[in-house]
Amino acid sequence: MPLSLLILALSAFAIGTTEFVIMGLLPEVAGDLHVSIPGAGWLVTGYALGVAIGAPFMALATARLPRKKALVVLMGVFILGNLLCAVAADYNLLMLARVVTALCHGAFFGIGSVVAANLVAPNKRASAVALMFTGLTLANVLGVPLGTALGQAAGWRSTFWGVTLIGVVAFIGLVRYLPNRTDEAKLDLATELGALKGAAIWLSLGMTVLFAASMFTLFTYLAPLLGDVTGVSPRGVTWTLLLIGVGLTLGNIVGGKLADWRLGATLMLVFAAMAVVSSALAWTSHALLPTEITLFLWATAAFAAVPALQVNVVSAGKAAPNLVSTLNISAFNVGNALGAWVGGAVIGRGLGLTSVPLAAGALAVLALILTFITFSRGSDAGLAPATH
């Protein structure tokens, strides 16, 4: 694997850390800026909406740029956004800074995954995408806890200064090591939008939405489930999240290798595993050891889908890989929001925390059904496993 892939992974690490670390720093941010905890929570929502809405527009805005230049520009936006977060004098400026930072998120992952896939031989593309997304999983394993600890010890702004520094290192690496490609197709707006015609791309994006909805239905409410049902202490929840992070990383690597073997079979296997393991948690969550084992298996299964889903949408929208892969990141964030809503609705209706894993399992079954429908369309849909 080329060094430039490691630079892309480092960029993904920085972006993933800045997205999720705010959740660990909400009390510090709320206290410093004199807002409520729910008010500070809107900084998370604002970022997610910035990714979901801004990603396709940023992809179109950079469509005429060579992919290396586009990634360098987007990383520059990321650095600016985190710098604004670090110096934000009030809540409104911090919210604006979060949205600015989010604008680069979806487009960077979308374009970056296309670049990663093109750096290696065709039969290694999913593995290359998986390596890039390993940076995102490591952000959850290392970046978020370390960033939270730094923010608690030295003030929340120090975390964003640290992420800004990582962004600068990634920026230099992209400029220095990412190769210039002279064989990239020249794209225009009509070509990009034309790739969205037909059912194949929308079915593929729908798979991503349902996958993310299943994952975040459970993930969003995992801490109260562990605390109230399993009886895990707050410190124990932190160690459980670390275990989940290890599972996410392992699943991402294994999923990339499986997708290189057979794309459609991998996705159906992953969604089936998510459905079974998520549902099992409704019963295993009453005891510590079964809970930890179930969550590790769930995390491994869940992130095994990420590189396969990214390669899948590019296969469905070959004419505009930048746009469709970026839309896949938007679809992931839409699923994130949908999953949080589904889990909240289940709890709000008085069904109990143990019903949340069942709801996650049901969404995984829907993803499995949609995947079967998508791949049963055959090679005419551009989704035959051998063509990716």
Domains of the chain: 3-184 (1.20.1250.20), 192-387 (1.20.1250.20)
Closest Cα to residue 209, out of 375, 52, 9, 5?
52
Burial category of 162 from C-beta neighbours within 10 Å (exposed 0-12, middle 13-18, buried 19 and up): buried
pLDDT score of 278: 94
Chain Cα centroid distance, residue 182: 30
State pLDDT tens for residues 43-80: 877 887 888 888 778 877 877 788 899 999 999 999 99
Hey, how many other C-beta atoms are within 10 angstroms of the C-beta on 196? Answer: 17
Give every residue of the chain whose pLDDT is below 70, as ranges.
1, 23-24, 37-38, 41, 182-196, 234, 317-322, 377-388
Buried b (16+ CB within 10 A) or exposed e, 89-109: eebeebbebbbbbbbbbbbbb
* Whether 220 contacts 343, CB under 8 Å: yes
Predicted local confidence at residue 384, as pLDDT: 42
The answer for 298, left when phi > 0, alpha when psi is -120 to 50, beta otherwise, is alpha
pLDDT at 253: 82
Give per-residue burial for 51-77: e unless 16+ CB within 10 Å, then b. Answer: bbbbbbebbbebbebebbebbbbbbeb
Residue in this structure with the two tokens 């929502």, named with its chain if needed: 45
SS (H, E, C) 34-76: CCCHHHHHHHHHHHHHHHHHHHHHHHHHCCCCCHHHHHHHHHH
What is the reported pLDDT for 184? 56
